[in-house]
C-alpha cells in the first residue's frame, strides 16, 4: 500500500510536468516557472486539472468498490442506480435550456443525478418481491432507461451544429476547460463523501454479508447501507458533473485493487482510491498531451478499462457465482 | 432461569396470514435445544425473531430474562450470535478477516479491529478446531470447513447464545459430525445452543432438549429423549417412524419397505 502511495505521488508529479506547453512532453520544473505565461498555465490550468483528475479517479473507484461490496456483486459500478444517466440528462437539459449560464451544466447534472438515486431507491422500496439487491438493480435499470429516453428526446430536439455537439462531447467525458472553479464546485460534495467511505471501510465487509448475518453481528445493515450508498452516489454525482461520463474506472479499478491488495475493505477501499486516481491521471495526461487536440477522457478510460478487464477475465481472476 | 423465552408471541409476514399466534416457549441455558418441524413450520422465522431481525406483531421475547426490545443493537450482537444455513461470500476473504467480522458489535463505529479482537478471533478459531485454516482463504475451503469457520466467526462475538439454522444441511456425514461435536463442546462450556434441523438422528445425538413445531404452534417442548420418540415424530411429520437401538440410544427413522 505504501508503494501505491509512492506510485500515486510519482504519477501526480509527472502529470504536473507533462503537457504541450512550453514544449510537448515532460518539461523541467525550471522551465515551467521561467516565463509568466508558463507560470499562469501551470497554476491556473494544469494544477486544477491534475487535482480534478486525481479526485475524479479516486471517487469513481472508491464508489465502485463500495457499490460492489454493498451489492455483493463484482459487476456493479457506481453509476447504475440512475446516477450516471440522471447526470447526463441534467447536463443535456442545461445545455439545451440554460445556455451560457455559468455552472448550469454542473449543477443540473448533480441535481438530476440525485433525483436518479432517490427515484431508484424509492421504486425499490415499493417493489414487493425479491431481496433488496434485485429490487435495487431492477429499479436502477428502469430509472436509468427513463433518463436515457429523456436524453434521447433532448438530443433529438437539440441543434445538431451546436447543442448536440456539446452534449455528445460531455457524454464522452473529459476535463478540458477545467479551472479552479470546476475543482472548487466539485470538492464540497466529493470530499465529505470520500471521507465517509474511507472511515467506514471496515464496516463495508459486514455489509457484504447477507442481511440477517450482518444484523446478527450487531449492526443496522439497512441504515448503514443507506449512508454508504448516499456517500458513494454523491461522490459519483459530484465528479460526473465536473467531468461528464468517464466509464470503466468504477468497474475495473476495484477488481485490480482486490487482486493485488486484498478483498478486505480496509485494504480494497484505500487501494481502489489510489489506483483510480493513478489510472485517471495517466489517461488524462495522455488525453491532453498526446495530440494538439484533446482526446475525450472517457474514450481512453474505456479503452484501457475494457482491455484490462478482458485480460483479468481471461486470467480467471474474476469469480462469479453460477 | 431461561436463556430465551417467548410469551404469547404472534407474527405474520406482510400480506401473509398469521404464522404464529399465542406462542409460548422457554429455552433453558447451557443446553443444546433442537427445533424440529416440517418445512414452513416457522423455525427460521423464530430464529430471525430471536435475533431481532423481525419484529413480533404481538407478545414478548426475552433474552436472558430481559425484554428483547430493550436491547440496543450492538448489545444484542454481544449476547446472541447466528450462523446461517449456507454461507455465500462474494469476495475471497481470508479466514482471519472473516472471523474478525464477528467483532462488529465490539469495534467502534468508525474503527477497525485491534490486537485484542485478533486474540478473540484466534481463541474462537481454536475452540472451533479451525486454527490450521487461519491462513487460508474462504473460497479454498470445503463446505464443511466453511461451516466450522462460520461458527468460529460467530464465537468471535463471544455470545452467550448461539443460534444455528440447519447447520449441517449441506454437509457430508463426517463434516456434519464435526459440527455436532463442536456444538456439544460449546454447550458443555455453558453456552446455550439453539439449532434447527431436519435430521432426527443427529438431533437425537446432540440435543438435551427438543422443541417440535408444526403450523406455527409448539407441538412439544421438553427433553430430547421424550420429544424425539417415534410417536412424537409421527405426530410432527405425519409419517411412520420406527426406532432402532444402539446401546442406550434410540434412533428414529422411516422404513422404506
pLDDT of A202 > 90? The answer is: yes
CA-wise closest residue to A255 among A97, A73, A106: A73
- Say how far apart CA B101 and CA B122 lie, in whole Å: 13
CA atoms within 13 A on the CB side of B175: 16
- The Cα-based distances of A179 to A101, A184, B239 in angstroms read 16, 9, 78
pLDDT digits (tens, 9 = 90+) for B175-191: 889 999 999 999 999 99
Q: Give the range among A70-84, A196-210, A262-276, A296-310 with minimum mean pLDDT.
A: A70-84
Mean pLDDT of A26-31: 80
More confident: A37 or A4: A4
CA distance A245 to A301: 10
Return the exposure string of A38-62: e unless at least 16 CB atoms fall within 10 Å of the residue's CB, then b: beebbeebbebbbbbbbbbbbbbbb
3-state SS class at B67: strand
In 3D, which of B217, B241, B244 has the Cα closest to residue B41?
B217
pLDDT at A46 over 70: yes
pLDDT score recorded for residue B105: 95
Number of helices followed by number of strands (H, E) in chain B: 9, 12
Q: A266 touching B, CB under 8 A?
A: yes
B251 three-class SS = strand
- Residue A14 pLDDT greater than 90, yes or no: yes
Chain centroid to Cα B189, Å, comes to 16
CB-nearest partner of A217 from B75, B101, B163: B101
| CB of A168 less than 8 A from some CB of B | no
Q: Residue B117 forms beta bridges with which residues?
A: none
Q: Output the pLDDT for position A322.
A: 41
The arithmetic mean of pLDDT across residues A218-236, rounded, is: 92
Segment B149-170 shows an average pLDDT of: 95
Whole-number pLDDT of residue A320: 53
What pLDDT does A285 receive? Answer: 96
A129: contact with B, CB 8 A cutoff: no
| DSSP letter (8 states) at residue A307 | H
Closest by alpha carbon to B214, among B25, B19, B34, B47? Answer: B19
| Nearest to A173, CA basis, from A254, A114, A88 | A88
Looking at chain B, the whole-number percentage of residues with pLDDT higher than 70 is 100
Classified as helix, coil or strand, B52 is coil
pLDDT beyond 60 at A2? yes
β-pair partners for B251: B244
What ipTM was reported for this prediction? 0.94
Which of A128-132, A134-138, A247-251, B165-169 is least confident?
A: A128-132
Contact B147, B83 (CB under 8 A): yes
What cell does B166 get?
A: 440447519
Instruction: Report strand pairing: B32-36 vs B192-197.
Output: parallel
Q: Answer for the pair B19, B216: CB distance below 8 angstroms, yes or no.
A: yes
Taking residues B227-251, report their average pLDDT. 86
pTM comes to: 0.91
Mean pLDDT of A49-73: 95
Q: How far apart are CA B201 and CA B186, in angstroms?
A: 20
More confident: A26 or A206: A206
What is the rounded average pLDDT for all residues in chain A? 90
Tell me the shortest Cα–Cα distance from A109 to chain B, in angstroms: 31
Number of C-beta neighbours around residue A37 at 10 A: 10
CB nearest to A215's CB, from B53, B93, B97:
B53
Chain A residues within 8 A of B108 when measuring between CB atoms: none
How sure is the predictor about A319, in pLDDT bands with cuts at 50, 70 and 90?
A: low
Amino acid A318: pLDDT: 59
pLDDT for B60-74, tens place per residue? 999 999 999 999 999
The helix (run of H) or strand (run of E) holding residue B82 is strand B80-83
Contact residues on chain B for A206, CB-CB shorter than 8 A: 101, 104
pLDDT confidence of B171, banded at 50, 70, 90?
confident
Reply yes or no on whether the pLDDT at A56 is more than 80.
yes
Contact with chain B for residue A321, Cβ under 8 A? yes
Buried b (16+ CB within 10 A) or exposed e, B72-95: eebebbbbbbbbbeebebbbbbbb
Q: Which of A209, A210, A218 sits opposite B78 (nearest CB)?
A: A218
pLDDT at A182 over 80: yes
* Nearest by Cα to A25 from A277, A278, A285: A285
- Are B35 and B224 contacting, i.e. CB atoms less than 8 angstroms apart? no
Chain B residues close to A69, C-beta within 8 Å:
90-91
pLDDT digits (tens, 9 = 90+) for A147-170: 999 999 999 999 998 899 989 888
Q: What's the whole-number mean pLDDT along residues B210-224?
A: 93
SS3 A26: strand
Amino acid at each position: 500500500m505504501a508503494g501505491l502511495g509512492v506510485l500515486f505521488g510519482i504519477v501526480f508529479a509527472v502529470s504536473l510536468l507533462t503537457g504541450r506547453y512550453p514544449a510537448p512532453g515532460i518539461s523541467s520544473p525550471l522551465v515551467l516557472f521561467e516565463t509568466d505565461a508558463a507560470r499562469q498555465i501551470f497554476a491556473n490550468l494544469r494544477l486544477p486539472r491534475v487535482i480534478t483528475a486525481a479526485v475524479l479517479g479516486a471517487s469513481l473507484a472508491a464508489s465502485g468498490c463500495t457499490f460492489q461490496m454493498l451489492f455483493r456483486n463484482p459487476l456493479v459500478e457506481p453509476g447504475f442506480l440512475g446516477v450516471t444517466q440522471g447526470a447526463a440528462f441534467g447536463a443535456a437539459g442545461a445545455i439545451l435550456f440554460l445556455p451560457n449560464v455559468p455552472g448550469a451544466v454542473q449543477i443540473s447534472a448533480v441535481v438530476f443525478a440525485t433525483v436518479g438515486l432517490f427515484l431508484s431507491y424509492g421504486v425499490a422500496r415499493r417493489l414487493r418481491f425479491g431481496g433488496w439487491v434485485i429490487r435495487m438493480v431492477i429499479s436502477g435499470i428502469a430509472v436509468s432507461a427513463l433518463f436515457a429516453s429523456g436524453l434521447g428526446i433532448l438530443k433529438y430536439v437539440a441543434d445538431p451544429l451546436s447543442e448536440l455537439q456539446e452534449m455528445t462531447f460531455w457524454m464522452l467525458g473529459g476535463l478540458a476547460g477545467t479551472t479552479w472553479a470546476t475543482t472548487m464546485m466539485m470538492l464540497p460534495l466529493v470530499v465529505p463523501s470520500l471521507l465517509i467511505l474511507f472511515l467506514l471501510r471496515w464496516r463495508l465487509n459486514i455489509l457484504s454479508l447477507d442481511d440477517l448475518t450482518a444484523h446478527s453481528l450487531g449492526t443496522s445493515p439497512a441504515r448503514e447501507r443507506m449512508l454508504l450508498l448516499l456517500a458513494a452516489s454523491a461522490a459519483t454525482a459530484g465528479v460526473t458533473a465536473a467531468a461528464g461520463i468517464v466509464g470503466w474506472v468504477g468497474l475495473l479499478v476495484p477488481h485490480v485493487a482486490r487482486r493485488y491488495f486484498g478483498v478486505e475493505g480496509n485494504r480494497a477501499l484505500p487501494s481502489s482510491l489510489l489506483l483510480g486516481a493513478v489510472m485517471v491521471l495517466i489517461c488524462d495526461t495522455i488525453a491532453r498531451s498526446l495530440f494538439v487536440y484533446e482526446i475525450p477522457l472517457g474514450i481512453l478510460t474505456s479503452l484501457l478499462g475494457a482491455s484490462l478487464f478482458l485480460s483479468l477475465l481471461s486470467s480467471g481472476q474474476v469469480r462469479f457465482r453460477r | 432461569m431461561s436463556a430465551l423465552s417467548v410469551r404469547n408471541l404472534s407474527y405474520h409476514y406482510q400480506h401473509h396470514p398469521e404464522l404464529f399466534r399465542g406462542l409460548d416457549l422457554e429455552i433453558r441455558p447451557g443446553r443444546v435445544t433442537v427445533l424440529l418441524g416440517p418445512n414452513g413450520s416457522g423455525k427460521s422465522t423464530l430464529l430471525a425473531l430471536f435475533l431481532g431481525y423481525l419484529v413480533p406483531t404481538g407478545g414478548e421475547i426475552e433474552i436472558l430474562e430481559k425484554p428483547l426490545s430493550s436491547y440496543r443493537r450492538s448489545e444484542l450482537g454481544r449476547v446472541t450470535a447466528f450462523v446461517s444455513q449456507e454461507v455465500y461470500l462474494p469476495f475471497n476473504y481470508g479466514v482471519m478477516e472473516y472471523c474478525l467480522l464477528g467483532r462488529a458489535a465490539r469495534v467502534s463505529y468508525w474503527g477497525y479491529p485491534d490486537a485484542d479482537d485478533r486474540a478473540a478471533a484466534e481463541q474462537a478459531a481454536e475452540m472451533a478446531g479451525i486454527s490450521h485454516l487461519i491462513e487460508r482463504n474462504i473460497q479454498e475451503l470445503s463446505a464443511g470447513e466453511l461451516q466450522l469457520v462460520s461458527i468460529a466467526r460467530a464465537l468471535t462475538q463471544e455470545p452467550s447464545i448461539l443460534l444455528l439454522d440447519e447447520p449441517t444441511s449441506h454437509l457430508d456425514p463426517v463434516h456434519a459430525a464435526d459440527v455436532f461435536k463442536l456444538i456439544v463442546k460449546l454447550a458443555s462450556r455453558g453456552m446455550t445452543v439453539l439449532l434447527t434441523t431436519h435430521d432426527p438422528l443427529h438431533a437425537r445425538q446432540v440435543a438435551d432438549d427438543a422443541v417440535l413445531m408444526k403450523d406455527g404452534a409448539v407441538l412439544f417442548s421438553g427433553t430430547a429423549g421424550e420429544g424425539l420418540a417415534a410417536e412424537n415424530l409421527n405426530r410432527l411429520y405425519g409419517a411412520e417412524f420406527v426406532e432402532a437401538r444402539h446401546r442406550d440410544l434410540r434412533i428414529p427413522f422411516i422404513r422404506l419397505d
